[in-house]
Structure 1
């Protein structure tokens, strides 16, 4: 059995999806310069460069959650807002997730750092067919809570990420014909930080806006630090 998560299917009501495998697509920028910039900003905190781009990391299906509170070891982690594809076997959805990552562990291994933290998800999904024709227009923004206020952290449109159809086709969970294997949740990459560099934050807010259809998905969550006991 996988991880059963209940979402609101926009315009249709609740849908319960059993997530049975998780994939994190990394280094997915459409522009090579942007990818190199992201590699460089992570190198500043000791993260090794990828062996190839894009890469598909695997994470436990239990990591995906719509909870407003997560728990992570220490206070060295932060979020990354990402478009997320979910296939329940009946249809493909577009959602909004955060590839919450332990920045200290990332310097040792990107794969390990992605596995150790929960992957918060906004509780609303859009039918992929409804947005497939204008994906590049969809905008994602994120904010972190610093010094008592929400500070803009990321801002970009899906035009700066490789086409989702391309990422889907290259995924180890691809089923062909523009679909993922049933029960798959796949995060599809993120944007460079606006200023200040990649850094930990205990509170994260993200939003995905579709101006063509006049709608928005929003979610914020708080991270509780657990002590590291030696």
Structure 2
């Protein structure tokens, strides 16, 4: 996927009110950018961190700048939570995720359970339907380890139960974590920040929900789903 071009480099000053970020660009301009990430953004919102923003000339926009990536150490980290679903849609169309290849129909945003929409429903006449939930991951506290979530994630925990219910009906269900960074080789649920989600992921896996984690190839020009990384779990062998 091509990112908006060109991306402009600067430094974070402050991220606030969930959707705003103040930056100083390398040319000295002080700007306020839209921050397309409502989460806690732990590790990628600290004052002084390098950051990359895009510009839009759409007159309907209140903020022409958008925060796209933040530098954490030597890693370029994508913070735009709108990208993972687009990246997965692109990868599914190209059969770039082997575990999810070969389906005939790909439908986004399908209602299911009592109050949920699954990100993708994959279907084929010769296979059970596959309910695919996508989660964005940027969080990393230890070298090489990606974690999710970085705050309480009640909605994501509910999704895990919804997926397990589909498995009980004889369907296939998958939760796919998209890690928007290149520097991680393993993934773990963040039990200290959200023990309910960590327990929910264990329970879902035991119920037959497949857990996939893919890291992205990142640059200031393009981002794409690149390679599978290992899900580590104290109680289960990675699927």
Give the TM-score, by structure 1 length. 0.26
Higher RCO structure (Cα 8 Å, ≥6 apart): 1
